[in-house]
Amino acid sequence: MDDCIFCKIVRGEFGTTIVAENEYAVAFDDIAPIAPMHTLVVPRRHIESMAEANAEDLAMLSGCLLLVNDVARVKGIETSGYRAGFNVGPDSGQTVFHLHFHVFGGQRLRDMA
């Protein structure tokens, strides 16, 4: 999508520093982090949210998850631990409607029920 901010970042239009990447996704630091380490993993192909994913997206989704692991290694939190997740829709807190995975770490994260 031409007006999607994450699509623009993926295309290199903002000069955003890429933390890690693979053929399916790119990772960059969140501009409003909520943990000492807060990086986003964004698929190169636009998909609005996980709710729109289907079996044809399996390679892209697994590529994103493998990139989450790469981010943890690059950021030096692979052994201390990290959390990864995604939001689906406005009620979940999704504000950019391009699927993305949040990777959090760098401190002990509080339990979420």
Q: Catalytic residue numbers?
A: 100
Is residue 46 within 8 Å of residue 1, measured between CB atoms?
A: yes
- How far, in Å, are 5, 79, 88 from residue 10 at the CA level? 9, 28, 20
CA-nearest of 14, 15, 17 to 71 is 17
